[in-house]
Structure 1
Amino acid sequence: MLRRAVLPLSLLLLLNLTWSALGGNDPTRVRNAMVVSQSAIASQVGADVMQEGGNAVDAAVATAFAMAVTHPTAGNIGGGGFLVFRPAEGEPTAFNFREKAPAAAHPEMWLNENGEYDYQRHHESHKAVGVPGTVAGLYLAWKTHGKLPWKRLVEPAVLLAADGFVVGDGLERTLKGEIDRFKKYPASLAQFTKNGEPYLAGDVLKQPDLAKTLERIRDQGPAGFYEGETAELLVKEMEANGGLITLEDMKGYAAQQCQPLTGKYRGYDVIGMPPPSSGGVGVIEMLNILEGYDIRSAGSGSALNLHRMAEAMRRSYADRAQHLGDPDFNPDMPVKELISKEHAAELRKTIDESKASVSTPESFEWAYESDETTHFSVVDADRNAVSMTYTLEYAYGSAITVPGAGFILNNEMGDFNAGPGLTTAGGLIGTKPNLALPQKRMLSSMSPTIIAKDGELFMVTGSPGGRTIINTVLQTILNVVDHKMNAQEAVDAGRIHHQWLPSRIMYEHQGFSPDTLAILRDMGHELYRNNKQGTAEVIVVDAKSGHLEGGLDRRRPDGGAAGY
């Protein structure tokens, strides 16, 4: 059994220095297999699995469970997400383990007694918790494609929770920032503070209740989470605080295996997630629009290319709000049309290359989706690949730790629209496809994506970042395919975001020159400065050498690329 969960601080710092590729834009390079994630410890857990003969799915399962311990900001067993898998041989597949609404959900559930929208109820109450999907999704992916025993994959997370791990700088910062929220919930305060005082970098964080829950998952599979003691503890917390999740909701949850969306961009195969993720549609639709331009000649970061990207983003996000939701409840979504070359050509005709379009209040804006998702990319020695994004919604989700079970609950019900007919210029959305209904999955921006060329794996990418995810992933692809950047350069490059309304370009303030920004303003764009956008984790296969290049996003600390 593994007994090395506690990493000394000196080793942790060494790992972070090594994996961050400090000193330039050189990617991390390995010959065989690699994991890139927001947790250096979890990346090493996944790499160890592959070195012992596990494949990319095995590594993804182990990494995800480890991140539920070491990256509680977004790593989880109390949330949900999506996984795209491209085997070295055979057809790609995808796994949908987005959270579901409880049976008691209904479209008007976010309105108060006076019929007015209640933000707190929508985002910060026990009613905002959806039925978690992560455990079921990881198990289904493993059952379908895994090689190593389930217990071997969950065991590292058990040990990390029981024995503890060294808190890094990034975790110290986020834990400090959440103390006021934790104070509302005694179990959260007990688990994530030292008697009310924040953990500091170098401290060892142990989570014994979480370890017991992970042991039940290790020994019983999904039944150890969706039934028995864990489910009973979760439902007890719901019943005591006005939440909606019942034992029947828990037992009835099922993850889905589905066919990924596929597109073509300059001869590359683009493999993404179908709805209820809007990521696959968004990435493919925007790439189709941009394929009609000579992106490379205009240059990386040029005002012309930024304008083109912003206009493609503007149109794709309008389509997103108008059409997309859970396919089980929206069987007539025009997905094939949205990702078609013909639709992109028509949209491209509406773009003036010298002038910004105007977004009007009668168009669509998006319900708030937090930046605090997390993504990791995995490639094994046989070139099987996994792109996985999962989340709790806000940082630390609802901030509600299940007493006695040790895991944080999501607040993903906040991704449902506010209520029927409540679309406003101020940001509320009331369109039908994404209204809350029993057993419905809420729309998401998560965009795990895999790129292939001539039948061979080329790139694995994805990012957290709420509404910005789709655009961050788009730009990593453009940077590698069009601008010929290596994996680290593609991750380090400045990013922009446009989402139709508000009618503005968000930009990373150190990513672009004042001259470039001035040209965009002259074109009619309103600009909004943003400190940082997303945390992309990218792997690119070097076609000449066969090596894997890892691009680790250094916008947030504690991440790591590990491999052999």
Structure 2
Amino acid sequence: MLGFPRPPPCAMSMRPTARILGCALLLVVGVFALPAWTSAPNASRPGSSSGTAGPAPVPEYAENGMVVSAKKRASQAGVSMLKKGGNAVDAAVATGFALAVVHPYAGNLGGGGFMVVRMPDGSVTTIDHREDAPSGATQDVYLDDDGNAVRQRSRRGYLASGVPGTVAGLLTALDEHGTLDRATVMAPAIRLAEEGFPLPHTMAEDLNDRYEAFAEFSATKKYFTKGRASAEYRAGERFVQSDLARTLKRIRDKGKAEFYEGRTASLIAEQFQANGGLIDAQDLAEYEAVERDPVTATYRGYEVHSMGPPSSGGVAIAQLLNAAEMRDIDQMGFNSSATAHYIGEAMRRVFADRAKWLGDPDHVEVPTEGLIQKDYMRERMASFDSSRITPTDSVRAGEPMLAGESMETSHYSVADSSGMAVSVTTTLNSGYGSKVMIDGAGFFMNNEMNDFVLKPGVPNQFGLSGTKRNLVAPDRRMVSSMSPTIVETPEGELSLVIGAPGGSTIITTTFQVIMNVIDHGMDIEQAVTAGRIHHQWKPRHLSHEEFALSRDAVRNLRARGWEVTEGVFGGIPRWGRAQGLRVTQSGDEGRVFYGGSDPRANGAAVGF
């Protein structure tokens, strides 16, 4: 079996003290039995994004609960709720609000997302808090006088934003499924905004690099620059967000109504109307998070619960797993040319279906049940040729039976000792969204209008195309790739909570992490670290991360007719930044938690 070596007992089931002693002994033995890839510089070391040899990463261990997110302080905020006796939803809500403070790049109050919740009894629901198109949004808004799409209008500035759903989503989850009060779960976020936090080096550099983009908007310049390009942020300086703290306090005191009908709503509506934007007071007052049924599939006996439309993620992951189940992926080998060829062909077909069939289910008929049928995917893969790619022009959407994201997204995974779990993906779309901040409120607005089809045949910023099912229209929710997912064992026990940012790569990243765990026997840290491939039908190339494919695999794929490129979206070398956790049963100890935070970013798994 290819992939990382299976983790030693010290990484899986021993108590902390025993693990330390056990690992020390195994380390001594291990230096005489290093795996072959440590001495093969041209080989693809599974799980490596740097190509350097070294010990396999070890997941974070906990016995009572776990939170894995893009920022350590946000993960700590969530775990503090578990320590207070709160459940996984309380922890997820605290994490979400904290990310809005410490991760303004993607964490947000002015964006939206999806949440999958597994109850202690095993029942699963989802909360759709995706942004809505404002009532004044029509296709013409994003076209010039000649009918050509003006992409910049949907990417930057006041026309780019949909009605934000994050606050409604988090507080709906808290009201319906949490146990702690708003004041308790929001306290960590308020403290971080009010007292500030030391700027990480990467965040300080990023803010400095974006001075020109931020300076285009007066409020953004005020909050996220020092007034001139030569005055730069320094790593370690305390970053205080006083207006954001006041906004959070208003939400704490008055709930959802404050954000959608109170002072914050007035600030949003007034500034959008004054600057040619579309969002008005009525759009905000009428916004609601929607509870929906999950998309549920099976994979080798495991049950996989993910997000349904307007997310395309759950449907696409179900289709990809259905395709993978038809082959012995373990025996084919981790990222071998045979595996990459097969799942690459599956990805092409799935993204062709996504382009044609996905939309807002409240406005168009989406054949979800037909798309996720195993027989449907078997039919889609019938033209697969193990020696050659399917001619590109012949790969089109299928005909299922009808029933009667960005690289700048953030994901977090939470589980508690009762078996409750929460998988949340949230986004502003681009990094810092539309670059517009709400003056007096201190948060960025999204640029999710770019996820609509501005004009059939015109791809969005991630190269994704669509049909009239996803055209701009008032009150419609734009199709997303966000794929928060929860996996249960064949015995019905909680097994895996996973998701990722990354635009269209969200789907393929989440799919590959699930395969890494179930097919290749990786632990969660290895699974989120392992190198990835991606294909989305259009553009035509098969993308891979550096060192994800060996040179032999690339040669074999090209011999089959693939156009193989390193990096996605114009050369981004690594993608996904998955945040996941694994839950196992450990005898008398009950559930044991292992957290894996993707080393492609500086996230953190925190447990207790």
With the length of structure 2 as denominator, give the TM-score of the two structures: 0.86
Alignment-derived partner of residue 495 in structure 1? 532
Equivalent residue for 1:382, pick from 418, 438, 450 = 418
CA deviations on 1:457-505 (whole Å, 9 max, x unpaired) are: 0000000000110000000000000000001110111001100111111
Displacement after TM superposition at 1:212 (Å): 0.8
| Matching of residue 42 in structure 1 with residue 74 in structure 2 | yes
What secondary structure is seen at the aligned counterpart in 1 of 2:504? Answer: helix
1:467 corresponds, among 476, 482, 504, to 504
Amino acid paired to 2:154: H
Is 1:527 the counterpart of 2:564? The answer is: yes
What is residue 83 of structure 1 aligned with on the other side? 115
Counterparts of 1:322-401 in structure 2, within 5 Å, are 322-330=356-364, 332-360=365-393, 369-401=405-437
Q: Does 1:507 align with 2:507?
A: no
SS of 2:270's equivalent? Answer: helix
Is the CA contact 2:154–2:161 (under 8 Å) kept in the aligned structure 1? no
- Could you tell me how far apart the structure 2 residues matched to 1:372 and 1:543 are? 35
Q: Specify the code of the residue in structure 2 equivalent to 1:287.
A: L
| AA aligned opposite 2:291 | Q
Equivalent of 1:552, from 576, 597, 608? 597
Task: Find out whether 1:54 has 2:86 as its counterpart.
Answer: yes
Note closer, same or farther for the CA distance 1:350–1:244 as it changes in structure 2 (3 Å cut). same
Match of 1:14 in 2: none
Write the letter of the residue equivalent to 1:380.
D
CA distance in 1, matches of 2:411, 2:504: 14
Identity %: 45
TM-superposed deviation, 1:125:
2.7
- How far apart in 2 are the matches of 1:212 and 1:483? 48
SS in structure 2 at match of 1:480? helix
SS of aligned partner of 1:374 = strand
Q: Distance in 2 between matches of 1:395 and 1:321?
A: 24
Instruction: Return the offset for 1:141.
Output: 0.8
Query: Which of 305, 308, 323 is 2:342 aligned to?
Result: 308
Shift of 1:90: 4.4
Give the conservation status (yes or no) of the 8 Å contact 1:279–1:446: yes
The alignment status of 1:441 with 2:477, answered yes or no, reads: yes
1:542 to 574, 581, 584: 584
Match of 1:228 in 2: 262
SS of aligned partner of 2:487: strand
Deviation at 1:270, TM superposition (A): 0.4
Partner residue of 2:42?
none
* Matched-pair contact (CA < 8 Å) for 2:407–2:501: yes
Conserved 8 A contact 1:107-1:420: no
Contact 1:299/1:305, CA 8 A, preserved across alignment = yes
Change (3 A) 1:430 1:476: closer
Q: Deviations over 1:114-135 (max 9, x none)?
A: 3221111122231111000000
Rounded Cα–Cα distance in structure 1 between residues aligned with 2:556 and 2:391: 17
Tell me the secondary structure at the aligned position of residue 248 of structure 1: helix
User: How far off its partner does 1:429 sit?
Assistant: 4.0
Amino acid at match of 1:351: F
CA distance in structure 1 between the partners assigned to 2:579 and 2:296 by the alignment: 21
SS of 1:194 mapped into structure 2: coil
Asked if residue 458 in structure 1 is aligned to residue 500 in structure 2, the reply is: no
Matched residue SS, 1:108: helix
- Return closer, same or farther for 1:430/1:23 CA change in 2, 3 Å cut-off: closer
Alpha-carbon distance between aligned partners in 2 of 1:23 and 1:62, rounded to the nearest angstrom: 34
For residues 189 and 416 of structure 2, what CA distance do their matches in structure 1 show? Answer: 20
Aligned equivalent of 1:289 = 323
SS in 1 for 2:566: strand
Q: Is the 8 A contact 2:595 2:605 kept in 1?
A: yes
Matched with 2:241 is 207
Say which of 171, 180, 183 aligns to 1:148.
Answer: 180
250-259 vs 179-188, which moves further: 179-188
Is the Cα–Cα contact under 8 Å of residues 359 and 501 in structure 1 kept in the other structure? no
* Aligned equivalents of 1:234, 1:491: Cα separation in 2: 38
Give the residue type in structure 2 aligned to 1:547: V
Check the 8 A contact 2:464/2:538 in 1, yes or no: no
In the superposition, the TM-score normalised over structure 1's length comes to 0.92
Q: Which has the greater radius of gyration?
A: 2
Structure 1 letter corresponding to 2:142: W
**Preserved contact between residue 162 and residue 207 of structure 1 (Cα < 8 Å):** yes
Q: CA separation in 2, counterparts of 1:432 and 1:114?
A: 19
Shift of 1:533: 1.4
Residues 265 and 281 from structure 1, CA distance in 2 versus in 1: closer, same or farther, beyond 3 angstroms?
same
Measured after TM superposition, the shift of residue 284 of structure 1 is 0.5
Match for residue 16 of structure 1?
none
Per the alignment, in what secondary structure is the counterpart of residue 542 of structure 1?
strand
Residue by residue over 1:22-44, the C-alpha shift from the partner in whole angstroms, topping out at 9 and shown as x without a partner, is 96411111111010011000000
Return 5+ residue gaps in structure 2 as ranges. Answer: 1-53, 398-404, 568-572
Tell me the equivalent position of 1:247: 281
- Residue in 2 that maps onto 1:482: 519
The alpha carbon displacement at 1:267 in A equals: 0.1
Instruction: Identify which range, 45-54 or 546-555, moves more after superposition.
Output: 546-555
Q: Structure 2 matches for 1:409-448, cutoff 5 A?
A: 409-420=445-456, 429=465, 431-448=467-484
* C-alpha separation in 1, matches of 2:394 and 2:130: 30
Three-state SS of the structure 2 residue aligned to 1:312 is helix
Higher mean displacement: 378-387 or 196-205:
196-205
SS in 2 for 1:360: helix
8 Å CA contact retained: 1:363, 1:501:
no
1:164 partner amino acid: G
Give the whole-Å Cα distance in 1 for the aligned partners of 2:451 and 2:241: 29
Establish whether residue 194 from structure 1 lines up as the match of residue 221 from structure 2.
no
Q: Quick one: structure 1 residues 430 and 61, their matched pair in 2 at CA, closer, same or farther if it must change by over 3 Å?
A: closer
RMSD of equivalent CA atoms: 1.7
1:334 alignment partner AA: P
Partner Cα separation in structure 2 for residue 312 and residue 498 of structure 1: 9
SS at match of 2:140: coil
AA in 2 matched with 1:170: T
Please tell me whether the aligned partners of residues 99 and 131 of structure 1 are also in contact (alpha carbons under 8 angstroms): yes
Separation in structure 2 between the aligned mates of residue 199 and residue 83 of structure 1, nearest angstrom? 34
The one of 57, 60, 66 equivalent to 1:28 is 60
Change (3 A) 1:267 1:254: same
Q: CA deviation at 1:235?
A: 1.1
Inter-partner Cα distance in structure 1 for 2:274 and 2:352: 40
1:419 CA drift (Å):
2.1
What's 1:9 paired with?
none
Going from structure 1 to structure 2, the CA distance change for 1:38 and 1:362 (only over 3 Å counts) comes to same
